[in-house]
Structures are given as C-alpha cells and as structure tokens.
Amino acid sequence: MKQHVTIVAALNIGFGLIKFLVAAIVFLAVVGGGLISGDAEALAITAIVGPAVASLLVLLAVPGIIGGVGLLKGKSWARILVLILAVFNLIDFPVGTAISVYTVWVLLHKNTAELFDVEPKKVSQLATA
C-alpha cells in the first residue's frame, strides 16, 4: 500500500499544480481580455474578476499540494486532509472524480491506516522505555 500512498500523494501534488497553471491562464485571459478590449468599463470589471477567480483557484490548490507533501512524509494529518479534499474533488468530473475514488480507496484501506499509525506507536514505545 505504500506505493499507492505515494501515487495518491503525487496525484494530489500534480492536480494542485495544474490548478495553479489554470489560475495563471484564467488571470492572463480575463485581465488580458479587458486590456485588449480598450474599454475602461470592461477593464475595471476584468481587473476584479480575473484576480478573484485566480485567487480562488490558488486557494483550492494549496491544500492539495500540502496534503500530498504530507503524505510523502508519512504524516497522519495529511491522510485526513487528503480524504477531506477527495470529497470536494468529486465534483471535478471526470479527472477529479477518478482521483477522489482512488484516494478514498487507498487511504481508507486497513493496511494504509497501519502505515500512518507507526509514528504514534514509536512515540508511545519511547515513553514506556
């Protein structure tokens, strides 16, 4: 299951990076469209809408990247974060849905839960020694 967790981490990091790329494209297209139009009113609107939509996409991308890195490092909090993100990514049909289904299958598997419980057991064993 360790390989599956690594794949889930890579998928979350990759999906987050794609969202960053989409944010940059949206920003450039919307604000650039306002600039090209030459209309002051259009520029005023696109100067607000472009950065707002791009910021929202970046805001959605950051937790996926953080969760993916956390999974690679074996952090138990990352497992919970990525499971929560998987629920939200279900609406990103079809790629986000496929990634979400795979993520839930991997991270809720019994053997995967044991991978993330290793760290607390080591701490408790050190405390009793």
Dump the DSSP string for 55-96. HHHHHHHHHHHHHHHHHHTT-HHHHHHHHHHHHHHTTSTTHH
Peptide bond into 94 cis (omega under 30): yes
Mean local confidence (pLDDT), 109-123: 70
- Structure confidence at residue 77 as a pLDDT band (50, 70, 90): very high
pLDDT in tens, 78-111: 999 999 999 999 998 899 899 999 999 999 998 8
Query: Considering only CA atoms, which of 124, 114, 16, 112 is closest in space to residue 64?
Result: 16
pLDDT score of 125: 55
User: In this predicted model, which residue has the larger pLDDT, 11 or 122?
Assistant: 11
pLDDT in tens, 8-50: 999 999 999 999 999 999 999 999 999 999 899 999 999 999 9
- Structure confidence at residue 127 as a pLDDT band (50, 70, 90): low
The pTM of the full predicted model, rounded to 2 decimals, is 0.81
